[in-house]
């Protein structure tokens, strides 16, 4: 291999995306901690390509956070100029103005292809910048009406955990920020890496972004929770197999009616929709990390036919599997 090609290969191998999280006086500690936990911890077990991380101060000097915590940042808003992704934690108040300098820095970052993420009320920062106009976005259910009222150009999605618009991603309440950040990890590094991070956090590896923010019964009884947890493991390992309500109900020792009710309570969705989402995530992973044909991926993920995979893939991601592979396949980088 020519020397220049070797150097280029080495450069690609050590490239580490930079995630910058905003800090400001009156910082929301939990949302800030979510970004630190997902993107800021060193993870040598994942190799050399894991994220770099920095904290950018919206104001200068020492900043106060909820709970009496004081924060010293890595730099000011100039850090946003080199970021690959920017995380906006929950903003300090819906009536608190967003500095013009911050809006301008976000505009510049977005224009050069930087991904923008907001957690909870952090969406009001993105809204104030105008970058969400004509887009879909979400926030905590307590703030959805205020967001729609103040920014009518935004299509506010009220009852989802997070909304992925490609280059701009928004989450519902604080804990949904974990789901959103893991979603980005899954999108950029694949299912296996996201599952590894989730295991370290001791949380479910995936909750569908379309899952409702509020469930009638979010915590199942202990015995049912254990049985459903084992069922999810089984399904993840047998996505290529056809499943029926009756067969799944028998596996967890419930009647079909009880099973459907308990499944909906635990996940906020139906078994059929859960399976489609799980299969799509597996298909995305194959498209990113393998050279398997679309027909083979359809077969291995339970869609059976490539046409069925293409239909669901376009519905969920507004891209064909081939287009997605062209944009995100890691072996092509």
The catalytic site residues sit at 120
List, in order, residues 6 or more apart from 11 with CB less than 8 Å away.
none
- What whole-number distance in Å separates Cα of residue 250 and Cα of residue 71? 53
- What whole-number distance in Å separates Cα of residue 283 and Cα of residue 298? 7
User: Bridge-partner residues for 116, per DSSP?
Assistant: 86, 168
User: Bridge-partner residues for 55, per DSSP?
Assistant: 21
Burial of 239-258, coded b for 16+ CB within 10 Å and e otherwise, reads beeebeeeebbeebebeeee
Q: Cβ–Cβ contacts within 10 Å for residue 150, how many?
A: 14
Beta strands at 63-65 and 69-71: parallel, antiparallel or unpaired = antiparallel
- What whole-number distance in Å separates Cα of residue 230 and Cα of residue 115? 35
């Amino acid at each position: 291999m020519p020397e220049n090609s070797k150097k280029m290969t080495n450069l690609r191998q050590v490239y580490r995306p930079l995630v910058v999280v905003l800090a400001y006086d009156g910082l929301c500690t939990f949302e800030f901690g979510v970004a630190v936990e997902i993107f800021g911890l060193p993870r040598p077990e994942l190799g050399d390509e894991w994220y770099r991380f920095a904290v950018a101060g919206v104001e200068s000097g020492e900043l106060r956070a909820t709970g009496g915590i004081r924060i010293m940042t890595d730099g000011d808003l100039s850090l946003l100029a080199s970021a690959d992704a920017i995380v906006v934690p929950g903003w300090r108040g819906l009536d608190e103005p967003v500095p013009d300098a911050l809006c301008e820095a976000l505009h510049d970052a977005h224009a050069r292809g930087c991904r923008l993420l907001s957690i909870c009320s952090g969406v009001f920062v993105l809204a104030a910048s105008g970058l969400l106009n004509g887009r879909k976005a979400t926030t905590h259910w307590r703030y959805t009406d205020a967001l729609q009222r103040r920014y009518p150009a935004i299509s506010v999605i009220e009852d989802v955990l997070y909304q992925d618009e490609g280059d701009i991603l928004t989450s519902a309440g604080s804990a949904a920020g974990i789901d959103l950040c893991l979603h980005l990890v899954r999108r950029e590094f694949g299912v296996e890496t996201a599952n590894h991070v989730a295991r370290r956090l001791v949380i479910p590896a995936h909750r569908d972004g379309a899952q409702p923010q509020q469930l009638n019964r979010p915590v199942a009884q202990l015995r049912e929770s254990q049985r459903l947890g084992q069922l999810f493991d089984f399904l993840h390992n047998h996505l290529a197999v056809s499943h029926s309500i009756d067969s799944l109900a028998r596996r967890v020792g419930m009647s079909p009616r009880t099973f459907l009710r308990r499944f909906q309570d635990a996940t906020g969705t139906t078994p059929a929709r859960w399976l489609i989402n799980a299969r799509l995530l597996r298909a995305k992973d194959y498209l990113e990390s393998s050279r398997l044909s679309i027909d083979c991926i359809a077969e291995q993920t339970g869609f059976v036919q490539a046409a069925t995979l293409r239909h669901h893939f376009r519905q969920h991601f507004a891209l064909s599997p081939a287009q997605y592979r062209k944009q995100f396949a890691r072996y092509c980088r």
